[in-house]
């Protein structure tokens, strides 16, 4: 009998036995067989295991598919990395080939790196100098600033930087058939890196400086000319340990490097200092600095030392806390009640703090609260000078976009907020509450220290100042600023700012004073100085609107 037939007969026999066993006895009832129960349990377990095995097979299939996809992704990444490596190698070979061609008569020529920037902007000021709509001090400026530069890599560790600048107020020149006073050297210096393998960097020539927060020393980029220094600078850097800057420079009172014909070298003073900073702690940056101003070629005494410290802390992600404090001491020239010059001791202090939190998210919204205070002099006519003297700060970065006040004789409380609705666009709104830090006195405000075409002498000898009589309210007013900055393209930035200032009681009773000279006819005596009131301040809104474009390569 074939094997299949025998198997069927055997299964039929087993089925018959099981059927006979499972059938009830003649009486309709039989006793439960333990073996049958065990067989039933085994059958249930076997079915459960079969289902689990099937589920595991499906899971293994899914995992295999995911693994294959991951392997394919890794292979693609490896292919891209290999492609990038080949492209980098090709680019490196191209650079080496180009550098190899920069030779003349067997000598390698310096590598030239050009730079260029053009800023064009419209600036409208209303009542900024006197808060009086009845006076004609509303001005519309159309300005451009063109900077063309080149960096020469003359060799290993040797670098030369040369930047020329053309800064103009449109239609402000006496004639457009000449180019007097427009083109100037903004930066021009030689830099030597890693002197003797020590890590030192030496710079000599004309250069710009931005140190720390910019409250003390900055390039004053808001101004259409900017600030530059003539001298030497020695720097040393070691990441996560210490950075040090030591410099000694000549500097002009006002906006360097603008030269005014006929004034000679008298306005030049000496400015030197050291700036130390460390980021050794991951969540904290600390700065320590000391500066010294000397009258140099100036006729009036200025021997002032400034010592200060700055601390920036990042305790949690998104939160930034900053504090800065400085003290000044030395001797300066002041003017007494009769506007005559005399020397006085100088001792002043200044403080600043800011808390800023940036939320995580696509638009990166932030809120901030800033505070700044600098000592003023309620009695500027005596033999002591206690009004803080700002060095070279960025004029619109801290105390309002209108730039009415400086870090002198005021305190300011300023909340602000902002966000980035799209990539490259930053919108912010800030408010400032200004008050005198002393009971009246004089301070540089409302363009008091600005040169005017009608002035018969340089600004330093005009002694122009904003004066508030003692007594009464110290509230100067409040300012609101709306700012927009949009980096539309890698080489194009658009900026727009609107600010308004509402004067308070102290500003409304203020006046602008300057030093005049009068002579007694027929006596032949020398002119006698006196305090002359240029004008009183009004009570109207002061406003500024700025729109600008910056193209940079």
Task: Count the helix, strand and coil residues of the chain and give each as a percent rounded to the nearest 5.
Answer: 20, 45, 35
Phi/psi for 43 (5° steps) reads -65, -40
Rounded-to-integer distance, Cα 349 and Cα 329, Å = 9
pLDDT of residue 23: 47
Residue 222 CB: number of other CB atoms within 10 A?
15
Structural domain including 447 reads: 110-552
pLDDT of residue 348: 97
250 assigned to some structural domain: yes
Structure-token pair, residue 432? 């400032």
271 assigned to some structural domain: yes
Nearest to 236 by CA among 202, 205, 267: 202
142 assigned to some structural domain: yes
pLDDT of residue 498: 97
Residue 273 CB: number of other CB atoms within 10 A?
22
- Residue environment code for 99-136, b if the CB has 16+ CB neighbours within 10 A, otherwise e: eeeeeeeeeeeeeeeeeebebebebbbbbbbbbbeeee
Classify residue 359 by its DSSP letter: -
327 assigned to some structural domain: yes
Total structural domains in the chain?
A: 1
6 assigned to some structural domain: no
90 assigned to some structural domain: no
Helix, strand, or coil (residue 449): coil
Rounded-to-integer distance, Cα 87 and Cα 259, Å = 50
pLDDT of residue 109: 59
Rounded-to-integer distance, Cα 240 and Cα 285, Å = 10
353 assigned to some structural domain: yes
> pLDDT tens per residue, the chain (553 residues)?
445 445 444 444 444 444 444 445 544 444 556 666 666 666 666 767 777 777 888 888 888 888 888 888 787 777 777 777 766 666 666 666 555 555 555 555 567 889 999 999 999 999 988 898 887 778 898 999 999 999 998 777 899 999 999 988 887 776 666 655 567 899 999 999 988 888 899 999 999 999 999 999 999 999 898 999 999 999 999 888 999 999 999 987 543 343 444 444 456 789 999 999 999 999 999 999 999 999 887 778 899 999 999 999 999 999 999 999 999 999 999 988 888 889 999 999 999 999 999 998 889 999 999 999 999 999 888 889 999 999 999 989 999 999 999 999 999 999 999 999 999 999 999 999 999 999 998 888 887 767 676 777 766 677 888 999 988 899 999 999 999 999 999 999 999 999 999 999 999 999 999 888 888 776 667 888 889 998 899 999 999 999 999 999 8
- The enclosing domain of 526 has a CATH number of 2.40.160.100
Rounded-to-integer distance, Cα 185 and Cα 217, Å = 20
Helix, strand, or coil (residue 174): coil
CB 481 within 8 A of CB 430: yes
**Which residues of 437-474 form beta strands (DSSP E)?**
441-443, 465-468
Element holding 369 (H helix, E strand) = strand 366-374
Nearest to 189 by CA among 257, 134, 102, 94: 257
Signed CA dihedral, 456, 466, 331, 352: sign only: negative
**Which residues of 407-491 form beta strands (DSSP E)?**
410-419, 425-436, 441-443, 465-468, 475-489
Rounded-to-integer distance, Cα 317 and Cα 73, Å = 33
Phi/psi for 253 (5° steps) reads -65, 130
Query: Would strands 384-385 and 441-443 be described as parallel, antiparallel, or unpaired?
Result: unpaired
21 assigned to some structural domain: no
């Amino acid at each position: 009998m074939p094997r299949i037939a025998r198997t069927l007969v055997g299964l039929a026999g087993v089925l018959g036995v099981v059927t006979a066993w499972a059938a009830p006895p003649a009486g309709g009832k039989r006793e439960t067989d333990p073996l049958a129960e065990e067989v039933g349990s085994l059958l249930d377990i076997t079915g459960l295991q079969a289902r689990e095995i099937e589920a595991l097979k499906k899971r293994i299939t899914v995992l295999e598919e995911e693994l294959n996809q991951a392997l394919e992704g890794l292979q693609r990444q490896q292919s891209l990395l290999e492609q990038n490596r080949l492209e980098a190698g090709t680019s490196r070979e191209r650079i080496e080939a180009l550098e190899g061609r920069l030779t003349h008569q067997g000598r390698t020529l310096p590598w030239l790196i050009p730079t260029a920037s053009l800023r064009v902007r419209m600036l409208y000021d209303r009542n900024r100098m006197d808060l009086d709509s009845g006076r004609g001090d509303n001005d519309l400026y159309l300005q451009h600033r063109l900077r063309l530069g080149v960096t020469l890599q003359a060799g290993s560790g040797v670098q030369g930087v040369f930047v020329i600048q053309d800064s103009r107020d449109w239609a402000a020149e006496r004639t457009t058939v000449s180019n007097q006073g427009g083109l100037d050297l903004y930066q021009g210096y030689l830099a030597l890196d890693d002197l003797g393998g020590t890590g030192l960097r030496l710079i000599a020539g004309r250069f710009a400086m931005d140190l720390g927060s910019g409250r003390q020393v900055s390039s004053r980029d808001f101004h259409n000319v900017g600030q530059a220094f003539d001298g030497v600078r020695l720097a040393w850097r070691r990441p996560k340990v210490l950075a040090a800057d030591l410099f000694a420079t000549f500097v002009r009172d006002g906006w360097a490097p603008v030269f005014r014909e006929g004034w000679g070298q008298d306005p030049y003073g000496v400015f030197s200092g050291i700036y130390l900073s460390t980021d050794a702690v991951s969540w904290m940056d600390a700065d320590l600095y000391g500066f010294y101003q000397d009258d140099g070629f100036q006729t009036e005494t200025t021997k002032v030392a400034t010592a200060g410290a700055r601390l920036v802390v990042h305790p949690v992600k998104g939160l930034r806390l900053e504090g800065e404090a400085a003290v000044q001491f030395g001797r300066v020239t002041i003017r007494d009640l009769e506007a005559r010059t005399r020397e006085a001791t100088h001792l002043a202090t200044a403080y600043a703090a800011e808390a800023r939190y940036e939320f995580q998210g696509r638009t990166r919204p932030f809120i901030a609260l800033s505070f700044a205070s600098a000592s003023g002099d309620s009695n500027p006519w005596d033999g002591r000078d206690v009004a803080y003297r700002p060095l070279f700060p960025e004029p619109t970065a801290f105390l309002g976009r209108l730039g009415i006040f400086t870090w002198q004789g005021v305190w300011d409380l300023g909340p602000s907020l902002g966000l980035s609705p799209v990539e490259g666009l930053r919108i912010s709104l800030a408010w400032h509450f200004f008050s005198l830090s002393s009971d009246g006195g004089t301070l540089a405000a409302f363009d008091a220290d600005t040169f005017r075409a009608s002035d018969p002498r340089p600004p330093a000898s005009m002694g122009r100042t904003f004066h508030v009589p003692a007594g009464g309210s110290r509230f100067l007013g409040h300012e609101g600023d709306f700012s927009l900055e949009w980096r539309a393209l890698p080489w194009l930035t658009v900026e727009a700012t609107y600010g308004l200032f509402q004067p308070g009681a102290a500003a409304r009773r203020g006046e602008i004073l300057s030093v005049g000279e009068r002579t007694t006819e027929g006596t032949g005596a020398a002119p006698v100085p006196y305090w002359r009131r240029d004008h009183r301040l009004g009570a109207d809104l002061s406003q500024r609107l700025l729109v600008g474009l910056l193209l940079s390569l």
